[in-house]
Structure 1
Amino acid sequence: EVLTLTASEAMKHNYCEGTADNIEEVIALLGVEEYTIVDYKPTLLEKFMGLLVSPYLQGILIMVIVGGIYFELQTPGIGFPLAASIIAAIIYFAPLYFEGIAQNWEIILFVLGVLLILIEIFAIPGFGVAGVSGIVLTVLGLTLSMSAGDIVILEEGLEFNLEPFAKSLFVVMISMFLSITLSLLLSQRLVKTNLFSRIALNKEQNTKDGYISVSTEQNALIGSAGTAFTVLRPSGKVLINDEIYDAKALTGYIEEGDQIKVVRYDIAQLYVKKV
């Protein structure tokens, strides 16, 4: 049970030695005769560090991190969104680390999460364990780095304090949601403005200049049978007539070794189904 006492009740039952309304009364209760009162004033650096670790600014930094990664994936090679994301990540983690709030392993969780997401997008067809694990690790890294006192060391062992973790998780999730929503809206507006034409390829590629279209030889493979050379989730590779081709499952996933049939060829992409 929780026992709640007023100041007078605490004094009556010897839970406290007295009450005071100001510093002078505290000094009088302690019986100190010679003393010097020093008012502590935070330095500009301390005020700046306090600003950097505030939940409001951290939420904005998370939005920049997520938004930068999103725009870099949408328009690879530009560099500015990725640079903004990296700078925001440094500004996010550095003050937390120097203040002793973020630990090394929490930052490593975030880095591993981002790497897993990139591997899932660029190296592994579809979206599976690596992508989900990357998202979870990224969220955990951001959340645990922000929350102080989430793990308390006691004589009996480690104790997990849920309250600071829950508050940090709320800030992270809201920031990521707002970042993704704003990124989607902003990307649609950029496409319709002249600004997008400055960073996107907007030039005709004529055959007289040496440009050629994509070969349509694979169009002849429609109706051909083969086997799944890798797992198709839904993209992967198939083996047809002793040749390996990139393909996409028409519906669902296709396991490696399953028999397949080419049903469509569209925009330089083979579409297959399991037979």
Structure 2
Amino acid sequence: MSKFTKSVLAFFLSFFVLLPFAIAQRVYKVDLKDEIGPNAWRTVNKAYSEAKMIQASTFLVELNTFGGAVNFADSIRSKLLNADMKTIVYINNNAASAGALISLAADDIYMNKGGSLGAASVVNQEGEIMPEKYQSYMRGLMRATAEAKGRDAKIAEAFVDPEISIPALKPDGKLLTLTSSEALKAGVIKAEVKNIEDLYQQAEIKSADVIQHQISIVDKIVAFLINPMVSGFLVLGIIGGIYFELQTPGIGFALVVALLSAALFFAPLYLQGLADNWEIAIFVAGVVLLVLEVFVIPGFGIAGVLGIIFVLCGLAFSMVDNDFLNFSVSKPGLLINSFLIVIGAMLFSVVLMVLFGKNILRSSAFRVLVLEDEQKSEIGYTSSQRKSDLIYKDGIARTVLRPSGKIEIDGVWYDAVALDGFIDVGEKVYVEKHENYNLFVRKLSAKPMDT
């Protein structure tokens, strides 16, 4: 065998021997520096999938959070506990509440000097301690997580329960929060570090082997759309669009606004795992009931009330993680907040429609976007000129007025609005007043005798 052949064989042998070792040194790093919620869970889940795809040996989470929703923290905890690779959490300042639960699920914890870890009691949106059933659930999670990684379960429970007695670390009756030096002495963390480079050195990780998870534009858009304020505006678009579509015959733009708002509202929540199929189905059922109430069922009754309730619940439930109406898995107070957002948007949309509805419909800019049927004079349509002459004249409803529709007077069709709220096809009416483009009518039976 020639020297060249031996060199080639040696090269390929070295390559295939060292390749698995090189791959095994890959570290995939993801940052969690906001409230623990659907965005955090989606980010970690996506990052872990990419780490597996590149066959990384270590999954590193840089954490700096004051907490968040327990259910999403539990999902991240489970991902770390069941990971196929080594897991490291780097506490870059704070790991409170839900952050403490995530930290305990890692194989190794490194902590910045001056950082803190603990204070994991379950609280509501106002920071008030929740009832015992929530604390008991959290204690169990903390204890089980610590035991799974060989850490002191009593210390983990003391993060949640002030009654746990650990004289060396905290006074009785106070929640446990550990500094970096205290956590190191208690065996909770592996080491104190000055910065991420110090962590790499102590964990024997080369910076060149670290792959940083990048947040995509789609992820940023999803995060923006599920912001409660943005969700409120989208609900406003949904309700307003539905209202104008039902109230204005021939309109198309309002339907587009409602559909687009609904898509932007539900799609990111569905991607985040918040909105489920049954919640979207409730919303759709509510819209269908409202349509039936307006176009099929006379008056306003059970279908209309149920439609409003279904629409409200479909929107509110989609914003909160739940197990088919079991909301105990979500952060306390979120369900009430979601209902407040939806109800507030509904009320605000009603106010806007009452104040500006007619002006919007009559504006030239809006009419450009309206899809209206062509109204030809040869089939009975006429302009609004001299409609004042029609006051107190009798006519007949040629379409259902809910409240707007068409009436016929002396063989001519006119746009009309029912002051009675609902007038069925074929009912006799009389004109009470005329404003702008419409005649305002009532049932003939309500006409004053002296007219």
TM-score normalised by length of structure 1 = 0.64
Question: Partner amino acid for 1:146?
Answer: M
Equivalent in the alignment of 1:2: 161
Distance change >3 Å, CA 215–CA 185, structure 1 → 2 = closer
Q: In structure 2, how many angstroms separate the alpha carbons of the residues matched to 1:90 and 1:72? A: 17
1:68 Cα deviation from its structure 2 partner: 0.9
1:61 corresponds to 2:234: yes
Equivalent in the alignment of 1:119: 292
Q: List aligned pairs for 1:36-185, cutoff 5 A.
A: 36-147=209-320, 149-151=321-323, 159-161=328-330, 162-185=332-355
Question: Partner amino acid for 1:87?
Answer: L
Conserved? CA contact 1:139–1:172, under 8 Å: yes
Q: How many residues align?
A: 223
Instruction: Spell out, residue by residue over 1:98-145, the C-alpha distance to the aligned partner (whole angstroms, 9 max, x if none).
Output: 332211111001000111122222222332222121111111111121
Conserved? CA contact 1:150–1:165, under 8 Å: no
1:54 Cα deviation from its structure 2 partner: 2.5
Conserved? CA contact 1:150–1:164, under 8 Å: no
Identity, in percent, stands at: 32
Superposed CA RMSD: 4.1
Q: Which structure is richer in relative contact order (CA contacts within 8 A, separation 6 or more)?
A: 1
Q: In structure 2, how many angstroms separate the alpha carbons of the residues matched to 1:204 and 1:108? A: 47
Instruction: Spell out, residue by residue over 1:193-247, the C-alpha distance to the aligned partner (whole angstroms, 9 max, x if none).
Output: 56688879843599xxxxx96269xxxxxxxxxxxxxxxxx9799xxxxxxx969
Q: Which runs of 5+ in 1 are unaligned?
A: 207-211, 217-233, 238-244, 248-265
Question: Partner amino acid for 2:319?
Answer: M
Q: Is the radius of gyration larger for structure 1 or structure 2?
A: 2
Distance change >3 Å, CA 21–CA 151, structure 1 → 2 = farther
SS in 1 for 2:273: coil
Distance change >3 Å, CA 24–CA 61, structure 1 → 2 = same
Q: List aligned pairs for 1:211-226, cutoff 5 A.
A: 214=395
Q: Which runs of 5+ in 2 are unaligned?
A: 1-159, 163-174, 373-381, 388-392, 398-420, 429-440, 447-451
Question: Partner amino acid for 2:178?
Answer: A
Question: Partner amino acid for 2:335?
Answer: F
Q: In structure 1, how many angstroms separate the alpha carbons of the residues matched to 2:224 and 2:216? A: 12
Q: In structure 1, how many angstroms separate the alpha carbons of the residues matched to 2:327 and 2:229? A: 30
Question: Partner amino acid for 1:119?
Answer: L
Conserved? CA contact 1:93–1:102, under 8 Å: yes
Question: Partner amino acid for 2:285?
Answer: L
Distance change >3 Å, CA 267–CA 37, structure 1 → 2 = same
Equivalent in the alignment of 2:442: 267
